[in-house]
Amino acid sequence: MEFLAGGRAEVRITRADVGKRVSVRRLTGGGAGVPAFTDAVGVLTSWDQGVLSITRRSGETVRIEETSLVAAKVVPDRPATARYGAAHPPSGEPARRRGPAATARELQTVAARGWPAVETARLGEWTLRASGGFTRRANSVLPLGDPGVPLETALEQIGQWYDERGLPPVIVVATGRADTDERLAAELAERGWTDERHTTVRIAALAPLADTGADAPGSAGGAPSRVTLSREPGADWLALYNRTGEADPSEEAARTALRVLTGGPSVWFATVHGADGGTAAIGRLVVDGRWAGFAALEVAPAARRQGLATLVMAALAERALEEGASAAYLQVEADNAGALAFYDRLGFTDHHGYHYRRALPGGRR
C-alpha cells in the first residue's frame, strides 16, 4: 500500500477520524526474520490513551500503540469486490445484467425480511429476534441504528430478554463497509463477547445467473425441466435440508423452523429428483422487490458433480426475474472454500461481512 507523500511517509489521521476507514503502517520491533513494518486496514474505532483500535473487515480488532505509527491515512470505503476470475458486465448493460449497487444497511434489512424470526421485540432501532434456536440469523439481535439507551443498559436488557427464552444473548455485527458496525464489534470485544461464524454477504446481477442453467452439465432439456418449484417445502425437501430439528427434535421446534423457512415476501422452494426418485438437490429463494435471496442450497452426496446446484440456482433466478427482481444476494460462511469457489463461478462478488458476538456465561453484558 502506498503511504509516501512528497518522498516521505506521513501520519495523516487524527482522533477526529474515529469512525472512518483507515490504512496504517506501524513498526513491529521484531528481530531477525520479522518484517520491520506491518500494515492494517479497517475502521478506526477508538483512539484513547495513546492506543488506536482498528477493526478489520473480518471483525478482528487490532490495537496499535500510537508511538509505533510510521504512516497512516483515511481511505475510501471498499466497493463490492470480485474474487479472481469473476467477470463484471460492462456498465452499459441493462440493470438486470449489471452488478447491483447497495448499502450494507439495505442488504441487512432485506435479508432479515427474507429469513424472519418467529418473535421480535424492538430496542430503539435494534431488533431482538427469537425462533426457538433455529439458526443464528433468526435468534440474534439486528443492531441497525441506535438502541435508544447506553450500550451497557442495552446489553443488560438483551441478556434478560434472551434469558427468558432460554437462548444465549447474540448480536450480529456487520463489517467491511462505510455503514457497518466496526465500532460496535470493538466495544463488544472489549466486554468479552466472543466472535463466531464469520460470514460473507455476496451479490450478483440476476439475469446472468439465470442463464447459467443452459451451460450446466445436467441441463439437457433446460434447467426448469429438471427443477420443481413450490411454495411449501415438501417432506423430500426437508429430508435433504435436515436442519429443522438440529437444536430441538420436538414437533414444536419443527413447526417453528417451518415458520422461518416459509416466511418472507415471496418464497419458493426448489427440488430436483434423481433417477431413483430420491431427492438429489434443493434450494430456497425469497423475492423482495429488486432482490432475490438464495439459501439452503444442498446436493445429496451421491448426486454431486452433476451440475445440479447450478441448475437449482438458475431455475430460482429465472423465477425471480419473472417476479421483477434484478439483483441476487446470499450468505456464505467465510471458511467454506468450496461454496465460495462455486459462487465465484456464478458471478457473485463480496459485498460485506458479518459475524456473531455471543455473551459468555458470567461475562460482562
How would you write the pLDDT of the chain (365 residues) with one tens digit per residue?
A: 444 444 456 888 888 888 778 888 888 765 555 567 788 888 887 788 888 888 877 677 788 888 888 888 888 765 555 443 344 444 455 555 556 889 999 999 999 999 999 999 999 999 999 999 999 999 999 999 999 999 999 999 999 999 999 999 999 999 988 888 888 998 999 999 999 999 999 999 999 999 886 555 555 544 445 899 999 999 999 999 977 655 556 788 889 999 999 999 999 999 999 888 889 999 999 999 999 999 999 999 999 999 999 999 999 999 999 999 999 999 999 999 999 999 999 999 999 999 999 998 765 55
Question: Would you state the pLDDT for residue 100?
Answer: 83
pLDDT for 23 equals 86
d(CA 21, CA 182): 10
What residues are paired with 9 via a beta bridge?
4
Cell of 38: 506491518
Sign of CA dihedral 73, 48, 61, 21: negative
Q: Nine-digit cell at 33?
A: 526474520
C-alpha cell at 153: 443498559
User: Hey, which bits of the chain come out as E strands?
Assistant: 4-5, 8-9, 21-27, 37-48, 51-55, 61-65, 69-74, 119-123, 126-130, 141-143, 170-175, 194-205, 228-230, 267-273, 279-288, 291-299, 327-333, 349-358
Which residues have a Cβ under 8 Å from the Cβ of 209 and sit 6 or more positions away? 313, 314, 317, 328, 346, 347
CB atoms within 10 A of CB 271: 20
Q: Answer yes or no: pTM beyond 0.85.
A: no
DSSP string, 236-287: HHHHHH--TTSS--SHHHHHHHHHHHH-SSSEEEEEEE-TTSSEEEEEEEEE
Percentage, residues of the chain above pLDDT 70: 82
Question: Tell me, what's the pLDDT at 222?
Answer: 45
Position 70 scores a pLDDT of: 84
* Number of helices and strands in the chain (H, E): 9, 18
